[in-house]
Amino acid sequence: KAGVTQTPRYLIKTRGQQVTLSCSPISGHRSVSWYQQTPGQGLQFLFEYFSETQRNKGNFPGRFSGRQFSNSRSEMNVSTLELGDSALYLCASRRTGANLEQYFGPGTRLTVT
């Protein structure tokens, strides 16, 4: 069974630009969550999507948004990029149910210059 895949793996953008990251969950998994990892803050929850609806959201500004498609694939968008947005962005998928194991993808390394 294929794992969680994320594209692209690496990205370099300039301040003020916007970026879209993609995540394909494990087959049969309907929940996709996004996390940001930085050296200073560690791993922080961005949002979770289930059945094309945002179900939960972390404490991030509105520049961070996402969506989920009918095939459970998810995209995350960051507009008006800032230097502080440089991070490893990880997505995780699981079947329904809050008590189920989450499986992470390899991440997208975003560098903002």
Q: Which is nearer to other proteins, 15 or 57 (CB)?
A: 57
Kindly state the smallest distance separating residue 63's Cβ from other proteins, in Å: 20
Sign of the C-alpha dihedral, residues 27, 29, 34, 40? negative
Of 44, 43, 46, 41, the residue nearest 57 (C-alpha): 46
Quick check: 55 binds other proteins (CB under 8 A)?
yes
Cβ contacts of residue 27 below 8 Å, gap of 6+? 1, 2
Considering only 21, 23, 26, 31, the residue that binds other proteins (CB under 8 A) is: 31
Quick check: 105 binds other proteins (CB under 8 A)?
yes
DSSP letters along 97-108, please? STTS--EE---E
Stretch of 15-23, 44-52, 63-71, 75-83 contacting other proteins, by CB under 8 A: 44-52
Q: Judging by beta carbons within 10 Å of its beta carbon (0-12, 13-18, 19+), is residue 22 exposed, middle or buried?
A: middle
Quick check: 58 binds other proteins (CB under 8 A)?
yes
Which residues contribute to the site for other proteins (CB under 8 A)? 4, 6, 31, 33, 35, 42-45, 48, 55-56, 58, 88, 90, 92, 94, 97-99, 101-107, 109
